Amino acid sequence: MIYGMADLASTKAELAELHALEALPAVLQRSSVLTGLHARVLDLLGLAICAGDLETGSVVRIEQLQERYGVSRSVVREAIRVLASMGLVASRRRVGVQVLPATKWNLYDPQVIGWRLASPARTAQLQSLTELRTAIEPEAARLAALRAPLADASELMGLAGKLWAAGQANDAETFLTLDIQFHRLVLSSSANEMFAKLTTLVQAVLTGRTQYGLMPRHPHKEALQLHVDVASAIQRGNGDDAHAAMLGIMQLAFSEMSSIWEKDSTD
């Protein structure tokens, strides 16, 4: 199907795009290959695709995007080039730019994660990320207990203590920062380079849950204690205990969010 300008733009859609664009920095601290106007157009197009405003299989011409965003052809072409490298679109000679199905997307790309979290399908994205964390982080904790340098183990204990204090004080901003640091350090301390590369995903899910009100108002004491248990087990070199404690953290997160996922699936 070929989009005309009436299909591509409406005042309501443009306002929604701008609102989502403003929310992006709070979702995820991203490193973009583009800056300024180029980055803005890239984000708007990425959001439109991830939100389904530009449907899978649809084709749009560069001239239409120029008119929609009021930018030059070179700006649009550069944004399309980046989107193509992420698997979101493909340029068809003499046809236009075709939106590709999600199965073709690089779902681990930080910007794609950010766009999906800013879209109406954010809970599905958070569910996918949480399921991935549940599969990976307990094993990362087990490996960290066997491989973490003493300095990392000591730092984890310190972070667990600070997390407890921030949770007790209901300091959500500090708690989020510390929680990201804690889980990133567990992944990197596993000494598995593949696990270490997943730190961006952990940051995305923790930040996304906080921004969209999917975290409990007051951290559960059980969750705070489990973070201490993970750090303690890693410091003691007990892989089984570290795995069990981290699995407990993941199960709590799953439980906290499952009612939201179920509600979304029935709406």
Global pTM exceeds 0.85: no
Average pLDDT over residues 158-184: 94
Confidence at residue 6, expressed as pLDDT on a 0 to 100 scale: 45
Contact 144, 137 (CB under 8 A): no
Q: How does residue 181 score in pLDDT terms, banded at 50, 70 and 90?
A: very high
Higher pLDDT, 89 or 264: 89
Contact 164, 224 (CB under 8 A): yes
Contact 34, 78 (CB under 8 A): yes
pLDDT digits over 216-252, tens only? 667 889 999 999 999 999 999 999 999 999 999 999 9
Q: Which residue has the tokens 């003499």?
A: 94
Share of the chain above pLDDT 90, in %: 61
pLDDT digits over 131-149, tens only? 999 999 999 999 999 999 9
237 sits in the region (left: phi over 0; alpha: psi -120 to 50; else beta) called left
The CA distance from 96 to 81, in Å, is 13
> DSSP secondary-structure letter at 243?
H
